[in-house]
Structure 1
Amino acid sequence: MGPTRPSMQELIGRRRRAGFVGRIGERAAFRGNFGVPAEDERHRFLFHVHGDAGVGKTRLVRELEQIAREAGALTAYVDESVAGVPEAMTAMTRQFAAQGRRFKDLERLLAAHRERRHEAAAALAPGAAEDREGPSAGSLAVARAAQAGLGMIPVAGAFAAALDTDGLAHGADRLRARFRSQEDAQLVLSPEQVLTPVLLSELAGAADAVPWIVLLLDTYERTGPFLDPWLHDVMTTDRYGALPADVVVVTSGQHPFDTARWGSFADFMTDLPLGPFTEEEARGLLADKGVRDEPVVAEVLRLTGGLPVLVSTLAESGPVGPGDVGDPSATAVDRFLKWERDPVRRAAALAGALPRRLDEDAFRSAVDGSGDQAADALFAWLRGMPFVSERGGRLQYHDVVRAPMLRLQRLRSPGAWTERHTRLAEAYGGRRARAGADLRPDEPWADEGWRELRLGETYHLLCARPRAALAGTLADLVTACGYGDDAVRPWVRVLAEAGEDTDAEALRTWGADLAAALADGGLAGLLRLLLGRARGDEPWRATAWALRADALARDGAPGPALEDYDHALALDPALVRAHRGRAVTLGGTGDYAGALAGLDRVLELEPDNAWNVVLRGEHHRLARHHAEAVADLSEGIARDPAGEFAWASRGAAHERHGDLDAALADFDRALALKPDYAWALARRARVWRGLGDQARRLADLDRALTLQPDWAWGRCERGDALRVNGRDGEALADYDRALELDPGYASAYASRGASLSGLGRHEEALADLDRALALNPGYPWALETRERVRQRLADRALPPT
């Protein structure tokens, strides 16, 4: 067989690269870095490209990617089409796979993240009783409900003590304990903690097979707010593990390198500031496009100021003589389309600038709503224009070109501006309604595609009538807060974008202030701003108070959270989210009577939701109301037999009551439904302890800790199992790790003291037992064990007889 012929894409790419001009120094610095070993002090681990919109940052970054591939590097390119770190990793894995390197473990976890996030978001909605996979970062009321029953990692305060009488740890991991498993919790609430170590491990494996790995993070002015803190941790700390030294990172955005965050790392990076083309570079690009006539070249240089995107746009139009330049006082839009004489095409280009994201349906709506062949031909022509590029599978105008096109239309004909945006809003609304027709009533906001259509509709409503549409937009923003940061960021962005595009100062201010509040204080900060500016008649205020309470409770502030729940219920006494969140927060403080009263009210308001019954049963279990717990949990199981949490919770109730056979049956059922359910494994280990089967006890604990290695309670449980088997030395390693994870874990101190005493290290044992009792003065087993250790010390001090 002869050599494989290149694909169309490869040929197009070669031709485009052949026409790349300028940026000689930047390209040389990047290419030369591959000739310097990572151990050499001259090697640079990070290149930062920055400059104003239109200076050619993206094109240079793409050129750097090709240079990297020529050096044998594995590459991945990320831009603003991603809304968070998990989406960035997804984009990377797809590109790595296309280059023949599958990151299978990371792909599996990313798929689980998307599934958990979708299922958790669906479970948030009132009446959603069938999805028990776990709550989202936004559905904090349900998330905290899961805390009560999952107990798989240490949580704080009296709530933790009630979960397990021998001292289920409290502390920093309380939030994650609200889910069925710690990994489920982290995949939804802090996915970077689960995903990043796997990414680094996969990169390390790939680094053994390729000379370099290059990650290119473009449009950093948009992605930096969430990627930059993560990237800083990955590159400069060992929080997530080791990053291979053969990784080179390229960031590109409008802003200079953030020395405040990165500090001394500046010595290991190369700054690549970009400005407009020099005259020589601009002339080179024009010559490459066949534009050599001096009067034409001079006019292009004057009109563009050397801005690469404008130089390229005008060059692509192919002016052949000075007469084609036209009126030198033409508007910016005339400059972009100066040599396009067809008025239909010019109008199509202007109309195509109206949507934030361009696709064929939006284009038809923007032009005239028709779907004939003429519209298809116009769209095909438009997508070939230099200022239209594809990002994240969607077409977009370059900002430098789109902004003046929008200004021209808004100022030239305000009536037409309003009419076109109204038509586009109606078109997006129709598409959104059709997309929602296939979803359950509780699912639309959990569906990313539906939300994107809603965003498009909202943007055009804001552009058509900024003042009238603001109230509805803020109401939607509050709803989006129930689905986490990834859902909220685009909503904040759309306000800022509409403010710029309509020159509406109120929208622009809202967008900027909300973005700052989200960056500084997370969802709680954003909701604080919304509530602080509320007039007092907004229908979303009760939900906003409840959502802020969720955020505060998640962050370990139950007192302020309860105050906010009370605010929510004062506005809407029937708000189930607030009643449920308040009840679970009370349970977290050890007030089970208050929690159960609140859950009774939840069931009055929402009797058909099986989760509410299970949740009340779990709180009865925590309060040691055995009969009531079993009754509620059994009813929950009857309503939803596929809910593994209810089976495991009932098993825990049976185990505490001494009915070991019933407990074993329930745990077996929970694990049949979810084999990787770490909490059920660890609690079943207690059943094996009661049955005297130490081998199975240890086997279940080993498996649970394989699933959740950073689980303080699980570590302490396995340490106890090893200790009672006379393996004190091995037990110490588990106790040490438990106390690293939760330094306030009284039970781990007491158990470690017992093992130290068993090894003859009585002074150390006494110190640990004193520490346990300082944390929990009424801890009977610790008191008894300390007395035994003191007696041993006293016996050892007696003179021989």
Structure 2
Amino acid sequence: MAQAKRRLSRAEAVRQRAGAQFIGRRAQLALFVENLGKDPDPDAGPDPADFLFHVRGVGGVGKSTLLAQWREAAHRAGALTALVDDTDVHGVETTLTALARQLAEQAGPLREFDKAVEQYRRALQASAERVPEQSPGAEAASLPARLVTQAAFGAASVLPGAGVVAAIASPETVAQGADRLVAGVRQRRRGGDGDESALSRAFVAELGRICERDRARRPWIVLFLDTWEVTGRYLDGWLRETIDDAFGALPLEVVFVLAGRDELAEREWAPWRPVLVDVPLEVFTEQEARDLLAARGVIDPGVVDAVLRMSMRLPLLVALLAHADPGAVDVVADVGADVVDQAVVRFLQWIAEPERRETVVAAALPLQLNQDLFACAVPDAEPATWEWLLGQPFVAGHGDFRQYHAVVRTSMLRRRRTQSPRLWTAAHSRLAEYHAAARTSAEQHLQVSRRTADPRWRRHLLNETYHRLCADPLAGLPAALEHTARTAGEAPDALAVWAEMLHQAAQDSADADLTRWADLIKSAAAGEQPVLETLGVLTAPVLPARVRAWALTHRGYQNFIEDRDDDALADLDLAVATAAGLSQTLAYRGRVHSWHARYEQALADLGAALALDPGNAWALARRGETHQLAGRAEEAMLDFTAALALDPDDAWALGSRGQAHRQAGRPDEAITDLTAALALDPEYAWARVQRGEAYRQTGRLEEAVADLSAVLAVDPEDIWALGSRGQAHRQAGRPDEAVTDLTAALTLNPEYAWAFAERGEAHRQTGRLEEAVADF
């Protein structure tokens, strides 16, 4: 916060010069370069550098061009730069990954951030596997009673250690009793939360390291965030938190440059106005337009006047018309309402070669362009045409992909769809097949459960779906809606991007039915509960059975995660009745039954799911858990091992098998599995507690205390970790520390019976017999 306050103390001179009124582009460039020449430390002088620029204006006014000029100026000034736009940004994680990749190319690997991304993705993959978490002794305490009853009737193998009689007689075994087991089961979840704040902290820390290491050589890092009208949906709150030092002290050498159509919301951004340089872009002045035309050799007065009227001095269209080297054209007497279409038509007319005119229109069809996609869209193009296309004024981008300016692309798509329907359908079908083949290729290297977390696989599926919708909206809509339901349930962070794609396909195809569904989904995805609202839309009776079944499946599991178990079971039952043959529906229903100790029903559902899809590692691991809870230790071990053979990187399955080893009296094997799980996900708190227990069982008490203390450093109210550490302290001969931990656990849950017994034993060891009797 100190850094943020120092930023807010900076002078407003630059902001006043830039934001009071429109200034020419040369002045804007000079302003930016001047800023990079200043000392970033506000204590160094009366007019320190500003760190937040906002370039704004209508589409086609030249925002991206100005950013490109500023970026080049920053490079010349010795700064590190990175730029993202709506092709990179699908959330905070994708944004930071793209920025970090570009910075790493200039400053070397950002290893700590790379580690944080890997941990985040693993945690995100496990988020759908999360179960409702309750403390021991909470109202929904029927499960402990059921476990104890099962133990009494021969299922005592669910209790670590000996049977019920031994548990009653021995404080050591009481320490592993039913209350405690249930506390562990309730906490069996990945320690990670897919928490983007950890990524942000790692990213800001890397910025700090770069600035500290390269301060003398590279005094600035400039991060450009383009198309803010789209990217701001994901990044607006994140950016404000970042500059407020919510993720650590942001170096004063970091400059952010935003570019978007609209002004920033006053309510949210008011605190930052003193250091926000507002750069509004207007259309060209007449002189600026004439200067550009003259620079391109367009000097004939009639031609210049025609271009000025046709373009309305919008920089994109001035550049578009000037770039074609029009020579002598008739003066346009009446500019129609659709200025862009007329400018595009005139631009195409000025391209002398018919093949290149065709190329420009055909290459507009892909959402993004690289040379492979260009070859697919324009299979007969000459080899040199790709480089020629990249030189056109409406083609921009960076990194692996290029794209048409949205204004020009929309016009060209409309032209192709209306004038050449056959070519429109053929090209979109060809592009869909290209992405389908690429997606299939990616699947060969991905577990089914990990596909939705893979950016490349997701990109190909999204593009494939877009092109199938454009080629034939009626035929493509059922599969598109099914993918939407699955995206909402399996990759909720991608839902907004998917909704945008449907909206784009509806706009580009001009199909009324697709437009209606795209509008419904876009509205739902922007709601307060985007996942549930979107899935609700997709349960409409008019939709195909598979679409409704997938929507019900994921809504059911979402309800289960959010403790609406009756609603969950109703949705899953209806999904099974709606469309047979969905393995994941049965697996989810089995998980709900298992949670409510209906083990035979759970095993029946999970077995049916595996009969449909033997490679469903998730179902195998959950069946292993069900066997474990039902007291079938060997069957549990077989299922966990089979699940790990399919997906060796499943930290949850490794942790569960580790627990099974520990309960079966194999603590060394338990430590091996739990250590492997923690290597995959160092923030997996439940696995660390389990390993602490395994260390305790083998007498490695200091290692046990270290593990349990690490968990409590993150979550001081982890009751199970408090109890376990208290027991380890007692066994290590530190009864007073044990009493402290166990008392803290009982303060959090006064009905934690095992903790009373363990604290009583600690009191007995110190001779406090009255306290011991009271606890017992």
Deviations 1:483-540 (A, max 9, x none): 4035434432222112222333443443343233223223222212222x44154322
Q: Is the 8 A contact 1:49 1:250 kept in 2?
A: yes
**Residue equivalent to 1:524:** 532
- Residue 268 (structure 1) aligned to one of 275, 283, 307: 275
| Residues 383 and 536 (structure 1), Cα distance of their counterparts in 2 relative to 1, 3 Å cut | closer
- AA paired with 1:200? V
**Residue equivalent to 2:55:** 49
Once the two structures are superposed, the pairs formed by residues 533-572 of structure 1 within 5 Å of their partners are: 533-535=540-542, 537-572=544-579
Once the two structures are superposed, the pairs formed by residues 587-626 of structure 1 within 5 Å of their partners are: 587-588=594-595, 591-592=596-597, 594-607=598-611, 608=614, 612-622=619-629, 625=631
Query: d(CA) in 2 for partners of 1:434 and 1:668?
Result: 38
| Residues 325 and 177 (structure 1), Cα distance of their counterparts in 2 relative to 1, 3 Å cut | farther
Does residue 322 of structure 2 align to residue 342 of structure 1?
no
Query: d(CA) in 2 for partners of 1:681 and 1:235?
Result: 34
Identical amino acids, percent of aligned pairs: 32
Query: d(CA) in 2 for partners of 1:653 and 1:571?
Result: 37
Once the two structures are superposed, the pairs formed by residues 174-323 of structure 1 within 5 Å of their partners are: 177-179=188-190, 182-183=191-192, 186=193, 189-190=194-195, 192-208=196-212, 209-210=214-215, 211-236=219-244, 238=246, 240-321=247-328
**Residue equivalent to 1:772:** 749
Deviates more, 1:715-724 or 1:58-67: 715-724
Q: Is the 8 A contact 2:589 2:605 kept in 1?
A: no
Task: Give 1:653 deviation, angstroms.
Answer: 4.1
- Residue 388 (structure 2) aligned to one of 375, 381, 393: 381
- AA paired with 2:557? D
Task: Give 1:682 deviation, angstroms.
Answer: 3.1
Query: d(CA) in 2 for partners of 1:160 and 1:99?
Result: 56
**Residue equivalent to 2:163:** none
Task: Give 1:752 deviation, angstroms.
Answer: 4.1
**Residue equivalent to 1:60:** 66
| Residues 751 and 675 (structure 1), Cα distance of their counterparts in 2 relative to 1, 3 Å cut | same
Deviates more, 1:256-265 or 1:277-286: 256-265
| Residues 474 and 403 (structure 1), Cα distance of their counterparts in 2 relative to 1, 3 Å cut | same
Q: Is the 8 A contact 2:220 2:253 kept in 1?
A: yes
Task: Give 1:200 deviation, angstroms.
Answer: 1.6
| Residues 237 and 317 (structure 1), Cα distance of their counterparts in 2 relative to 1, 3 Å cut | same
Query: d(CA) in 2 for partners of 1:284 and 1:435?
Result: 48
Deviations 1:282-324 (A, max 9, x none): 2222222232333222221111111111111222222344559
Query: d(CA) in 2 for partners of 1:423 and 1:777?
Result: 69
- Residue 98 (structure 1) aligned to one of 100, 105, 110: 105
SS of equivalent residue, structure 1 residue 514: helix
| Residues 159 and 401 (structure 1), Cα distance of their counterparts in 2 relative to 1, 3 Å cut | farther
| Residues 484 and 71 (structure 1), Cα distance of their counterparts in 2 relative to 1, 3 Å cut | same
Deviations 1:17-68 (A, max 9, x none): xxxx942443344344442645479754422222221111111122222333
**Residue equivalent to 2:466:** 459
Instruction: Calculate the TM-score normalised by the size of structure 2.
Output: 0.77
**Residue equivalent to 1:354:** 365
Task: Give 1:247 deviation, angstroms.
Answer: 2.2
Deviations 1:112-160 (A, max 9, x none): 556x48xx9xxxxxxxxxxxxxx455xx3xx137x99xx9999996599
Deviations 1:231-262 (A, max 9, x none): 23322362x33323332211112232123444
Query: d(CA) in 1 for partners of 2:278 and 2:64?
Result: 16
**Residue equivalent to 1:420:** 424
Q: Is the 8 A contact 2:625 2:656 kept in 1?
A: yes
Does residue 150 of structure 2 align to residue 144 of structure 1?
no
SS of equivalent residue, structure 2 residue 538: helix
Query: d(CA) in 2 for partners of 1:631 and 1:322?
Result: 82
Does residue 671 of structure 2 align to residue 667 of structure 1?
yes
Q: Is the 8 A contact 1:358 1:395 kept in 2?
A: yes
SS of equivalent residue, structure 2 residue 222: strand
Equivalent pairs counted in the alignment come to: 692
Query: d(CA) in 1 for partners of 2:599 and 2:262?
Result: 50
Does residue 509 of structure 2 align to residue 498 of structure 1?
no
Task: Give 1:276 deviation, angstroms.
Answer: 1.3
Q: Is the 8 A contact 2:565 2:592 kept in 1?
A: yes
Deviates more, 1:554-563 or 1:293-302: 554-563
SS of equivalent residue, structure 1 residue 178: coil
Query: d(CA) in 1 for partners of 2:643 and 2:224?
Result: 50
Q: Is the 8 A contact 2:57 2:63 kept in 1?
A: yes
- Residue 342 (structure 2) aligned to one of 319, 324, 331: 331
Q: Is the 8 A contact 1:621 1:653 kept in 2?
A: yes
SS of equivalent residue, structure 2 residue 402: strand
Does residue 696 of structure 2 align to residue 689 of structure 1?
yes
Deviates more, 1:337-346 or 1:95-104: 337-346
| Residues 674 and 779 (structure 1), Cα distance of their counterparts in 2 relative to 1, 3 Å cut | closer
Q: Is the 8 A contact 1:78 1:91 kept in 2?
A: yes
* Ranges in structure 2 where 5+ consecutive residues have no aligned partner: 1-22, 148-158, 160-175, 772-776
**Residue equivalent to 1:410:** 417
| Residues 178 and 698 (structure 1), Cα distance of their counterparts in 2 relative to 1, 3 Å cut | closer
Task: Give 1:105 deviation, angstroms.
Answer: 0.9
Query: d(CA) in 2 for partners of 1:355 and 1:30?
Result: 34
Q: Is the 8 A contact 1:48 1:269 kept in 2?
A: yes
Q: Is the 8 A contact 1:549 1:561 kept in 2?
A: yes
Q: Is the 8 A contact 1:565 1:578 kept in 2?
A: yes
- AA paired with 1:26? Q
SS of equivalent residue, structure 1 residue 281: helix
- Residue 30 (structure 1) aligned to one of 32, 35, 38: 32
- AA paired with 2:407? V
| Residues 452 and 691 (structure 1), Cα distance of their counterparts in 2 relative to 1, 3 Å cut | closer
Query: d(CA) in 1 for partners of 2:521 and 2:320?
Result: 35
Query: d(CA) in 2 for partners of 1:61 and 1:153?
Result: 56
Query: d(CA) in 1 for partners of 2:63 and 2:138?
Result: 47
Deviates more, 1:102-111 or 1:606-615: 606-615
Task: Give 1:547 deviation, angstroms.
Answer: 0.9
Task: Give 1:430 deviation, angstroms.
Answer: 5.0
| Residues 644 and 380 (structure 1), Cα distance of their counterparts in 2 relative to 1, 3 Å cut | closer
Q: Is the 8 A contact 2:112 2:202 kept in 1?
A: yes
Once the two structures are superposed, the pairs formed by residues 57-136 of structure 1 within 5 Å of their partners are: 57-82=63-88, 83-111=90-118, 113=120, 116=122, 135=125
Two-structure CA RMSD over aligned residues (Å): 4.3
Query: d(CA) in 2 for partners of 1:156 and 1:94?
Result: 49
SS of equivalent residue, structure 1 residue 81: coil
- AA paired with 1:205? R
